[in-house]
Structure 1
Amino acid sequence: MKITRRYHSCVELSEGQTSVIIDPGSFEVPENLAEVDAVLVTHIHPDHVDAAALTTARGKNPQLAVYGPAELVGHVDFPYTTVADGDTFEVGDLHIAVHESAHGTVTRSTPLPENLGFLINGRVLHTGDSFPELDGVEVALVPVSAPWLKMLDVEDYLRANRPTRFIGVHDGIDNDFGLNLRRRLLGALAEEHALEYLPLRPGESVEI
């Protein structure tokens, strides 16, 4: 399986002849959005789904499958497949299991959307904006920068769930100073907890 970081929380996964993009948000939309087999949306916040860009991609490719939470219906004007906790489905060579977990709290008065995680082929977990309890996955895509988290949250997640490897995502709000600081901290956490940190930058890929 090939994992390619796009931007912020957006990641592309490819296996065999199948490719999916997860969370193509408004910070930067992948140029190949209309060319993959499916798009997976964890939740409706605009940094995770650019509804206009997704509608345009669907117009270019009516066969583009889209999977997301029920709340997405109020944001796109085309049919998509609603998925929820416990669902499983296939996209070509990929088996996808849905794991719902609560979105991180931003402020006490900020309403929070339904948040879905996607486990791909039992190996790669995209958590959306949360830290779900799912032990021992091979590669976790871990949010590392947001108004709702601190680095202690990342450490607690890694220590409790112990993914074999992890990739930091959800860092689109950081400038270069913040990105470099977080990468040093993530590397130190990996060493301390005997995990492997894959410091992918946008556009970089890894084969697993």
Structure 2
Amino acid sequence: MDTMKITRRFHSCVELAKNETTLLIDPGSFEVPANLAEVDAVLVTHIHPDHVDAEALATAQKRSPGLKVYGPAELREHADVDYTAVTDGDAFTVGDFDVSVHRWPHGAITESTPLPDNLGYLVDGRVLHTGDSFPDLEGVEVALVPVSAPWLKMLDVEAFLKTTKPTSFIGVHDGIDNDFGLALRKNLLTKLAEENGLNYLPLRPGDATEI
């Protein structure tokens, strides 16, 4: 099995690289990756700005017309880019990566807040990015787990880890936390990993691991 490199970018953005192929998932407006125009494909889970910077993505595609973009149908009205609309049950290949698409509801924020379609991506059957959701999907090697959001409680994270039991997990979606919040959350995630016999990878933006 070929080695995959997982690099945390900022907030919910993660870069996956294998052989000659590089993917970015959810390059949002909190901090746009410097290599956005250089990757092979971008996967968008949903249209919230912290998950996709529409202007930056359009600029990147103009610089690199071969940049492939995949996302929900709603992306068509949100970003001026050429892209492939995907939905639950779809599967596609980008270079050395095989990607399957799953549709899970976005976590509720308030009763009056409308929610977009939310997609999750399972890459090579090994690495799962859930967008803003906590699905029930077992057998995942590495889960990219949202850990801080207006729609989220640590009880949700705990329930997800107990139900899905990924071999390893990386906390993402923490761009709104200050240093105190990040330290608190790291301690809680470390404890949850120990209690459930899981491997917690406490990557910060710029950190990477290989699987």
TM tier, smaller: over 0.9
Instruction: Select 1:126's aligned residue among 117, 125, 129.
Output: 129
| Correspondence 1:88 to 2:99 | no
Match of 1:172 in 2: 175
Q: Which SS does the other structure have where 2:205 is aligned?
A: coil
- Superposition misfits of 4+ residues, deviation over 4 angstroms: none
- 1:71 is paired with a residue whose SS is helix
Post-superposition offset of 1:78: 2.6
**Identity between Structure 1 and Structure 2 (%):** 71
> Take 1:60 and 1:203, find their aligned partners in 2: how far apart are those partners?
24
**Counterpart residue number, 2:69:** 66
The whole-number CA distance in structure 1 between the counterparts of 2:139 and 2:79 is 35
1:42: which partner in 2? 45
Check if 1:113 corresponds to 2:116. yes
**5+ residue gaps in structure 1?**
none
Deviations 1:144-191 (A, max 9, x none): 000001100000000001000000000000000000000000000000
**Scaled by the length of structure 2, what TM-score is found?**
0.98
The alignment's C-alpha RMSD in Å is: 0.4
Question: Which residue in the other structure is 2:186 paired with?
Answer: 183
Deviation at 1:133, TM superposition (A): 1.0
Contact 2:57–2:81 (Cα < 8 Å) also in 1: no
Deviates more, 1:91-100 or 1:77-86: 77-86
Are 2:48 and 1:32 equivalent residues in the alignment? no
Q: Give the counterpart letter for 2:67 in structure 1.
A: L
Give the corresponding residue for 1:2.
Answer: 5
For these two proteins, the number of residue pairs brought into alignment is 208
Distance 1:177 1:47 in 2: 21
What aligned pairs does 1:153-164 form with structure 2 within 5 A after superposition? 153-164=156-167
Aligned partners of 1:35 and 1:104: how far apart in 2? 32
Name the CA distance, whole Å, in 2 between partners of 1:136 and 1:184: 25
Q: Which residue of 2 aligns with 1:23?
A: 26
Question: Gapped runs of 5+ residues in structure 2?
Answer: none
- State how far apart, in whole Å, the 2-side matches of 1:46 and 1:123 are: 27
Normalised by the size of structure 1, how large is the TM-score?
Answer: 0.99
Residue 121 of structure 1 aligns with an amino acid whose one-letter code is D
Q: Which amino acid aligns with 1:107?
A: T
Q: How far apart in 1 are the matches of 2:92 and 2:112?
A: 35
Q: The residue matched to 1:58 in structure 2 has which SS?
A: helix
